[in-house]
């Protein structure tokens, strides 16, 4: 089997003495060609703008995801900008929704939006730490301050564009998340993300899990941003595991999000009869494994399929390192209980990810294949391996004959779900 690692692939020949099952899933429907899907979405969006009374020469802001959440912008933006220019003679700006992620070099942004778009339009990166770029719109009912990039108040209309996948603590990505935390200030993001911690136990909140947007305290808090942001339409997408657009919907942010989420559930949930002794997983390559913060989503998904005290091998290159300065220091506190207590005292962004990962390494043996410093991997509580062959050598001696195993080649996207009634 060929597994992705960064921008390369690695061959893995599953040993026959393990009873393996591959966790893959065919698309449950036959999508039309990508260009047809995009053209229809652009037409729908243009018609909705006309119905909303958007005037000629209107100022429009396109809010798009960063390089960690690619959604075929290089195909979408040429068609969309051409349509908006022809119909409305619109003045267009593009804003990269980095959230709290670090700013990227120009080459990365060019590659993200496409060279022609980069040359023709103003393409800015949102900087959560630039307080002068923010405007305070109001607060959530929980007191979360909605400080967003002021560009949204300097234009006539905002268009959010983004692909939707499961999100390990907010339920699903996309939707309102393109605005908050996508273009929010650092302290605002911190106030929202700290709701991943249960205030009574100091542990990860039981309602913060993938697919839950009904009782999820993080999601319910962030969606309250919508009444403060007028004149917004969205183009939201579901992509195949191969990264191709297979479904698109256009309209108001929240109902459009719910519609696409249903498609994502159809595509990416994998029902399981049981958990197994060993799981070998790839994050799915770049950009899903660009750093450890992003790669944790893959660890989280693969972890759902392994027994307690079982063995989990995860391949994630982490070419950009950890991805957060606030993450690693939490492991100085030792146990998940101590990390949780520290988070109650003083929460920092990505602290909840540290807690979630520490909880996993306390319950399973995680062998991590990456470019990270092995000492750093050991500090976190995982077992470092320089390649998949070494990882398997470390793992196989701990497995009994007849052990059950899963192969999960796209762990960043697919979510194993154990069905105990099966």
Is residue 388 within 8 A of residue 313, CB to CB? The reply is yes
Compute CA 236 distance to the chain's CA centroid, rounded to the nearest angstrom: 14
Query: Do the two domains 2-26+273-418 and 34-267 of this chain adopt the same fold?
Result: no
CA angle (249, 413, 263) in 5-degree steps = 30
The Cβ of residue 5 has, within 10 Å, a number of other Cβ atoms equal to 21
CATH, domain 2-26+273-418, list 1.10.3720.10, 3.20.20.150, 3.90.226.30, 3.40.50.300 = 3.90.226.30
267-312 confidence digits (pLDDT tens): 999 999 999 999 999 999 999 999 999 999 999 999 999 999 999 9
Reading the block at residue 207, the tokens are: 């309602």
184: nearest Cα among 150, 230, 159, 155: 150
Chain segment 63-100, per-residue pLDDT in tens = 999 988 889 999 999 999 999 999 999 999 999 999 98
How many residues does the structure list for the chain? 422
Q: What is the pLDDT of residue 422?
A: 35
Q: What is the pLDDT of residues 142-176, one digit of tens each?
A: 999 999 999 999 999 999 999 999 999 999 999 99
Q: What element of type H or E holds 137?
A: strand 134-139
- Domain spans of the chain? 2-26+273-418, 34-267
Question: For residue 404, what are its two tokens?
Answer: 């059950």
CA distance 244 to 269: 18
Contacts of 356 (CB under 8 A, 6+ apart): 168, 169, 204, 296, 300
3-state DSSP assignment of residue 22: strand
Query: pLDDT value at position 26?
Result: 87
CATH architecture for the domain at 34-267:
3-Layer(aba) Sandwich (3.40)
Distances (CA, A) of 46 to 58, 96, 152: 13, 22, 19
By three-state DSSP, how is residue 8 classified?
strand
Residues 293/350, Cβ–Cβ less than 8 Å: yes
Dihedrals phi, psi of 344, to nearest 5 degrees: -65, -35
What pLDDT was estimated at residue 70? 86
The DSSP letter of residue 69 is: S
Instruction: Round to whole Å and give the CA distance between 142 and 199.
Output: 13
CB count in 10 Å sphere of residue 87: 14
pLDDT score of 362: 97
State residue 354's pLDDT score.
95
Q: Which residues of the chain have pLDDT under 70?
A: 420-422
pLDDT of residue 291: 96
């Amino acid at each position: 089997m060929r597994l992705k690692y960064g921008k390369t692939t690695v061959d893995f020949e599953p040993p026959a003495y393990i009873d393996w099952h591959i966790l893959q899933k065919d698309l449950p429907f036959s999508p039309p060609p990508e260009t047809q899907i995009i053209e229809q979405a652009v037409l729908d969006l243009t018609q909705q703008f006309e119905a909303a009374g958007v005037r000629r020469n209107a100022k429009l802001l396109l809010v798009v995801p960063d390089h960690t959440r690619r959604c075929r912008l290089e195909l979408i933006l040429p068609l969309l900008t051409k349509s908006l220019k022809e119909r409305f003679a619109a003045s267009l700006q593009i804003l990269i929704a980095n959230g709290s992620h670090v700013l990227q070099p120009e080459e990365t942004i060019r590659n993200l939006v496409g060279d022609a778009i980069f040359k023709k339009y103003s393409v800015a990166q949102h900087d959560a730490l630039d307080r002068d770029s923010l405007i305070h719109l109001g607060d959530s009912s929980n007191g979360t301050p909605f400080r967003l990039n002021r560009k949204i108040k300097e234009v006539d209309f905002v268009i959010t564009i983004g692909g939707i996948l499961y999100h390990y603590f907010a339920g699903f990505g996309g939707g309102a998340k393109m605005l908050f935390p996508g273009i929010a200030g650092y302290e605002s993001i911190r106030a929202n993300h700290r709701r991943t911690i249960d205030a009574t136990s100091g542990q990860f909140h039981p309602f913060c899990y993938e697919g839950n947007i009904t009782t999820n305290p993080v999601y319910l808090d962030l969606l309250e941003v919508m009444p403060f942001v007028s004149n917004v339409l969205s183009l939201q997408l579901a992509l195949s595991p191969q990264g191709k657009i297979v479904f698109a919907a256009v309209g108001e942010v929240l109902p459009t999000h719910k519609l696409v989420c249903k498609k994502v559930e159809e595509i990416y949930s994998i029902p399981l009869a049981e958990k197994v002794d060993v799981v070998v997983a790839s994050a799915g390559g770049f950009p899903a494994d660009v750093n450890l913060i992003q790669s944790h989503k893959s660890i989280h998904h693969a972890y759902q399929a392994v027994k307690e005290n079982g063995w989990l091998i995860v391949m994630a290159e982490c070419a950009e390192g950890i991805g957060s300065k606030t993450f690693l220091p939490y492991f100085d506190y030792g146990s998940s209980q101590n990390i949780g207590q520290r988070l109650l005292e003083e929460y920092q962004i990505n602290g909840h990810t540290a807690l979630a990962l520490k909880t996993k390494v306390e319950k399973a043996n995680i062998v991590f294949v990456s470019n990270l410093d092995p000492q750093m991997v050991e500090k976190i509580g995982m077992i470092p391996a320089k390649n998949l062959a070494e990882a398997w050598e470390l793992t196989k001696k701990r497995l009994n004959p007849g052990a059950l195993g899963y192969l999960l080649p796209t762990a960043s996207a697919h979510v194993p779900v154990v069905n105990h009634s099966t």
